[in-house]
Amino acid sequence: MSKGKIIVGVSGGVDSSVTALLLKEQGYEVEGLFMKNWEEQLPGGECMWEADVEDAMQVCDQLDIPLNTVDLASDYWDRVFSNFLEEYKSGRTPNPDVLCNQEIKFSAFLSHATDSGAEKIATGHYARITEVNGHYQLRKGLDCNKDQSYFLCRLNQAQLSLSLFPIGELEKHEVRELAKEAGFQTHDKKDSTGICFVGERPFREFLSRYLPEQAGEIQTPEGEVIGQHNGVFYYTLGQRQGLGIGGIQGASDSPWYIYKKDIENNILFVVQGHDHELLYSQKLTATDINWVSGAAPETPFKCAAKTRYRQADQACTITHIDNNSCSVTFDEAQRAVTP
């Protein structure tokens, strides 16, 4: 007897393939659902979604489960990509994967799945969910090198209660081994990296299609103009590459790094040396906070945080939670904290 209907977000990759495999082996009624999130006639339309859906079809055929497709391109544009552009215009460096999980995979996709009769959805994320007295905890995946809980940080209790992450208890090599044993051609498929809609082109080239170049100055902390740039929104704090600075009289041979952006005046400020003090911050203010538990904890409290995906957890203290923001003080100063 089936445990219930689960719709799996199949992407044509090895992780979602094994997710579907595990759930079927556990006795669930499993269906695959492939999301199309980008219009092929738009820049970035060369995303390999057609090849991916073929891989998804082959896996679902091998598992003898149905596969459907849902077109969420309009939702993605309105709820993720538009925000992505606005953030860049404001001089920030957004992570569209975080918003995609909140607004598309665990909202639009989830709604479509439950409307189709699913009790829950499942995805190939390396993360875990633990239920404790009716409350759902989002936990890191067992494989610390592949952990994706960072990208799921904006999920709420309702979304977690309707989600499963079957491979969260596995390491990547185990997932590939299971796929190979099952005869999936996806067992050695390369992991997707970067932002799908950017395609294979350089990121700045892609962004320039939506945010026209705006020439501006590159200055030192003292206000000396030492170069030109094409728009502050093309750059991020801590960046070294692509500045085109060299041969500055009186300067050393040390590389230059961006430490500040003046959005209003379109100016980049740079310093020399990877470990220059102006690249470091001890404190930050976090805004637009999502408390996964559903309620803010009492302050102050100690925890670990990170300001970018691949960064190791950093010890810190949280204080002054107010109006959906809080103060974060790190035990050790952090380099190139980027909004």
pLDDT tens digit string along 101-141? 999 999 999 999 999 999 999 999 999 999 999 999 999 99
- What is the pairing mode between strands 163-164 and 120-122? parallel
pLDDT in tens, 239-280: 998 898 876 776 788 899 999 999 999 999 999 999 999 999
Sign of the Cα torsion 23, 135, 109, 191 reads negative
Q: Is 326 a catalytic residue?
A: no
Q: Report the candidate in 91, 120, 102 with the shortest Cα–Cα distance to residue 31.
A: 120
Which of 100, 144, 153, 303 is an active site residue? Answer: 100
List all residues 6 or more positions away from 77 whose beta carbon is below 8 Å from its beta carbon: 39
Torsion of CA 328, 102, 84, 93, to 10 degrees: 30
For the chain, give every domain's residue range.
Answer: 5-198, 213-274, 280-335
> Are 127 and 184 spatial neighbours (Cβ–Cβ below 8 Å)?
no
Of 101-115, 153-167, 233-247, 287-301, minimum mean pLDDT range = 233-247
pLDDT at 48 over 80: no
User: If pLDDT is split at 50, 70 and 90, which confidence band does 203 have?
Assistant: confident
Report field, pTM of the whole predicted structure over 0.75: yes
Pick the CATH number of 5-198 from 3.40.50.720, 3.40.50.620, 3.20.190.10, 1.10.510.10: 3.40.50.620
pLDDT in tens, 305-320: 999 999 999 999 999 8
Q: Could you tell me the fold of the domain covering 280-335?
A: Elongation Factor Tu (Ef-tu); domain 3 (2.40.30)
Burial classification of residue 188, based on how many CB atoms lie within 10 Å of its CB (0-12 exposed, 13-18 middle, 19 or more buried): exposed
Q: Could you tell me the fold of the domain covering 213-274?
A: SH3 type barrels. (2.30.30)
Return d(Cα 239, Cα 234) in angstroms, integer. 10
pLDDT at 288 over 80: yes
Q: Is 100 a catalytic residue?
A: yes
pLDDT of residue 134: 94
Which of 196, 303, 316, 326 is an active site residue? Answer: 196
